[in-house]
Amino acid sequence: MTKERNAGKAIIILCIGTFFFLIYPVLVEGVNQGEWEARALTLGDAGNWYELIVFCQERIKEYPENFSAWLLLGTAFHQIQHYDEAIDAFRRAVLINPENAGTWLILGKSYYMAENYDQAIVAFRQSLVIDPKNVETLETLAHAYILSNDRTAALGVFRELNRLDPERANKLFDLIMPR
């Protein structure tokens, strides 16, 4: 009976420990997360990019694995054309959630704006692994290939884009094959 009682106590202690070390921090972050995101989105919608940067940085200090905070931090930096900082934030976001195609896309756009076309292409291609029919990603990938002087690769992307969205592809064709 004593062994059974001790085993029962051990299981209870293990469950309580698991709750406080694994589950409780997620719940605490989750309780405030909705309010935090609403405030962050309000700042972004109003174009208060510098205030959003500070707001996100404070959240990241408290919750360094907060995907939304990294994503919005990158967005704010991208909006004020601080592309290196945006890239750092988006890279952190994709480490936390590598299956988010939109994050790979905006990471690629930040590389693109920083004129790092090779890295932009890598990010766009990763986005397409997750969401292969995203015409926005295909179009920006084609532009990155054009700017990196790889018209053959751009033409291959054009063909896929033409299959999915012929109107968008036609606008792109003149860039790939100038007259």
Give, in order, the Cα–Cα distances in Å from 108 to each of 62, 78, 88, 92, 175: 28, 11, 12, 14, 20
* 114 belongs to a structural domain: no
* 160 belongs to a structural domain: no
Range(s) of the domain holding residue 27: 2-99
Contact 90, 114 (CB under 8 A): no
* 19 belongs to a structural domain: yes
> What average pLDDT is seen over the chain?
84
* 130 belongs to a structural domain: no
Contact 65, 33 (CB under 8 A): no
Residue 88 has pLDDT above 90, yes or no: yes
* 81 belongs to a structural domain: yes
- 118-136 residue pLDDT tens: 999 999 999 999 999 999 9
How confident is the model over 4-33, as a mean pLDDT?
Answer: 42
* 140 belongs to a structural domain: no
DSSP string, 70-133: HHHHHHHHHHTT-HHHHHHHHHHHHHH-TT-HHHHHHHHHHHHHTT-HHHHHHHHHHHHHH-TT
Q: What pLDDT sits at residue 179?
A: 55
Q: What is the pTM of this model?
A: 0.78
* 85 belongs to a structural domain: yes
- Domains: count for the chain: 1
State the CB neighbour count (10 A cutoff) for residue 113: 14
Which of these ranges, 35-39, 101-105, 114-118, 168-172, has the smallest mean pLDDT? 168-172
* 28 belongs to a structural domain: yes
Q: Which of 31-40, 54-63, 169-178 has the highest mean pLDDT?
A: 54-63
Q: Which residues, at least 6 apart from 29, have a Cβ–Cβ distance to it below 8 Å?
A: 63, 66
CATH of the domain at 71: 1.25.40.10
DSSP 46: T
